[in-house]
């Protein structure tokens, strides 16, 4: 079961469905699965805090982007991200490396529990077989955190998908998304993301409309699966 959306916005004098191709797949992960996934993520977060993630056991190098706090996104204390396979560099001002997938860094492999989630997404036709995700990013939000309006980088191909855990929150979409205060935005569509539901972003719903997560009042976790553009993969990337 999935939901599609219509939200008309006038762009260059034409009415366009900015949510064309956006899909919300209902009840993909049940409460038992959610509990197991969330516990696994808490464990990852603890290991990240102790600098135990992103350590290349063979080359003894520490990959600082695997576990990080995204201060650039400005709301609250900055949500935590944990990235697998590739590390996306958001901190352009800090490290002067261009925005995008870091080409000379490989993050930790995707843990089995997330591979099983990917398998479930493919076998239940939430994602097409020609777009099997090969990377994964976890966002952990504390009360006060938000994500500013953006369109996901084209270093990742479409479609890609994201699932919420712990608490339901709204994602906001709009061709024009206006900031009206810290972590507060006005857009043309606000879509609830119930826990365990899978949002698939594609077409206008990702490329014409920006999206953002307004400030959350309760802890929230999201897991996003994306397939890298072949030309943007890290140099040492080998498909698992």
207 is a site residue for Mn ion (CB under 5 A): no
213 is a site residue for ligand PD2 (CB under 6 A): yes
Q: Is 162 exposed, middle or buried (0-12, 13-18, 19+ CB in 10 A)?
A: buried
Write out the binding residues for ligand PD2, residues 144-173 only, by CB under 6 A: 147, 152, 162, 164, 171
25 is a site residue for ligand PD2 (CB under 6 A): no
Pattern of binders to Mn ion over 130-159, x per CB under 5 A?
Answer: ----------------------x-------
Minimum distance of ligand PD2 from residue 14's CB (angstroms): 26
| Nearest CB to ligand PD2, comparing residues 12 and 28 | 28
Minimum distance of ligand PD2 from residue 237's CB (angstroms): 21
| Nearest CB to ligand PD2, comparing residues 105 and 198 | 198
Query: How many positions of this chain bind ligand PD2 (CB under 6 A)?
Result: 10
By the criterion CB under 6 A, which residues form the site for ligand PD2? 139, 147, 152, 162, 164, 171, 211, 213, 222, 224
């Amino acid at each position: 079961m999935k939901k599609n959306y219509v939200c008309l916005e006038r762009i260059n004098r034409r009415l366009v469905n900015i949510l064309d191709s956006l899909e919300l797949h209902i009840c993909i992960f049940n409460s038992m699965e959610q509990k197991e996934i969330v516990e696994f993520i808490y464990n990852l977060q603890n290991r990240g805090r102790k600098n135990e993630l992103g350590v290349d056991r063979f080359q003894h190098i520490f990959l600082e982007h695997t576990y990080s706090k995204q201060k650039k996104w400005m709301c609250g204390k900055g949500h935590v991200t944990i990235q697998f396979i590739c590390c996306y560099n958001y901190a352009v001002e800090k490290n002067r490396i261009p925005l995008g997938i870091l080409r000379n860094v490989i993050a930790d492999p995707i843990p089995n529990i997330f591979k099983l989630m990917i398998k479930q997404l493919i076998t239940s036709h939430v994602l097409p077989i020609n777009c099997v995700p090969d990377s994964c990013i976890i966002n952990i939000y504390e009360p006060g955190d938000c994500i500013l309006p953006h369109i996901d980088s084209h270093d990742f191909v479409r479609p890609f998908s994201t699932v919420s855990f712990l608490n339901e929150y709204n994602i906001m979409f709009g061709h024009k998304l206006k900031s009206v205060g810290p972590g507060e935005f006005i857009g043309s569509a606000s879509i609830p993301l119930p826990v365990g539901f899978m949002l698939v972003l594609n077409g206008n719903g990702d490329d014409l409309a920006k999206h953002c997560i307004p400030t959350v009042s309760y802890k929230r976790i999201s897991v996003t699966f994306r397939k890298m553009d072949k030309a943007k993969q890290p140099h040492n990337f080998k498909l698992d």
